[in-house]
């Protein structure tokens, strides 16, 4: 059995002294693609931050057997578009953990930045100002910044939020391609089950209002009973042209 990179055991999550969710047990192994899905405000980002060690646990245990290189992609809306940096300079920020605050970038760091930009398909935009980029190009820049840290685990918070369907598919295809043939683990937060249903290997449903936390493989979590607990209405999954789609049951309208 593959050892986990990071895991929560019977975790209590929240702020101050009030837990939002309790009894949370989840692990991430090399090569995993874990999607955290639930409504806005449901506690997904809190779970992600706790799993990464950025948010203290209120109970339970956070297990990390060894030091772990993490690349983090924040919500694009939380990154100021008027940053006075080029795309290449933004990506270079991903090297700060390895550089420290006082050491200047070396040739190897510059090459890792180039490789990261190339992996996300925007090497030709390295000299463009971040604020001049489209929303999709900014997202790829932030992903490249995370990749420049040479992560074992890539964590993304709502990376497709606000995107049109084409851009969403392109972003998800990019994540699939980045992981192909590697042991890179991906943990992604999304409020849209449709965004991750055809890419994730495991899914966690998170809804603090309903006191819901449930995690399992994709086939298990896309069963109607599991989805009904998340959406609080009958739903069904259909396969069309090789892709999974989630619908409300007849008469309910599409989710």
CATH fold of 1-68+152-218 reads Rossmann fold (3.40.50)
Q: For the chain, what are the domain ranges?
A: 1-68+152-218, 75-149
Output the pTM of the full model. 0.91
CB-count exposure of residue 148 (10 Å: 0-12, 13-18, 19+): buried
| pLDDT tens readout for residues 59-115 | 999 999 999 999 999 987 777 777 789 999 999 999 987 766 667 778 888 999 999
> Between the CA atoms of 26, 235, 42 and 164, what dihedral angle is there, to the nearest 10 degrees?
100
How confident is residue 255, by pLDDT bands cut at 50, 70 and 90?
A: very low
- What's the mean pLDDT in 23-42? 95
pLDDT of residue 253: 45
| pLDDT tens readout for residues 136-186 | 899 999 999 999 999 999 999 999 988 888 999 999 999 999 999 999 999
- Give every CB contact of residue 211 below 8 A, 6+ residues apart in sequence: 21
């Amino acid at each position: 059995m593959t050892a986990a990179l990071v895991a929560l055991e019977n975790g209590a999550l929240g702020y101050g002294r009030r837990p939002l969710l309790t009894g949370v047990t989840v692990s991430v192994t090399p090569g995993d693609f874990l999607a955290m899905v639930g409504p806005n405000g449901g506690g997904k980002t809190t779970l992600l931050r706790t799993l990464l060690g950025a948010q203290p646990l209120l109970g339970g245990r956070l297990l990390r057997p060894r030091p772990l290189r993490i690349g983090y992609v924040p919500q694009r809306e939380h990154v100021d578009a008027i940053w006075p940096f080029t795309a290449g300079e933004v990506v270079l920020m991903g090297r700060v953990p390895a550089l420290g605050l006082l050491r200047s970038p070396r040739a190897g760091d510059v090459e890792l930045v180039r490789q990261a930009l190339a992996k996300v398909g925007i090497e030709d935009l390295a000299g463009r100002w971040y604020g001049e980029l489209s929303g999709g190009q900014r997202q790829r820049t932030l992903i490249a910044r995370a990749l420049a840290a040479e992560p074992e685990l890539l964590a993304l918070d709502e990376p497709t939020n606000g995107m049109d369907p084409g851009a969403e598919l392109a972003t998800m295809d990019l994540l699939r391609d980045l992981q192909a043939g590697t042991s890179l683990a991906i943990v992604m937060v999304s409020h849209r089950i449709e965004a991750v249903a055809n890419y994730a290997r495991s899914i966690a449903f998170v809804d603090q209002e309903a006191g819901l936390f449930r995690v399992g493989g994709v086939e298990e979590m896309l069963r109607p009973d599991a989805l009904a607990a998340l959406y609080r209405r009958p739903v069904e999954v259909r396969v069309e042209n090789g892709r999974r789609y989630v619908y409300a049951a007849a008469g309910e309208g599409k989710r």
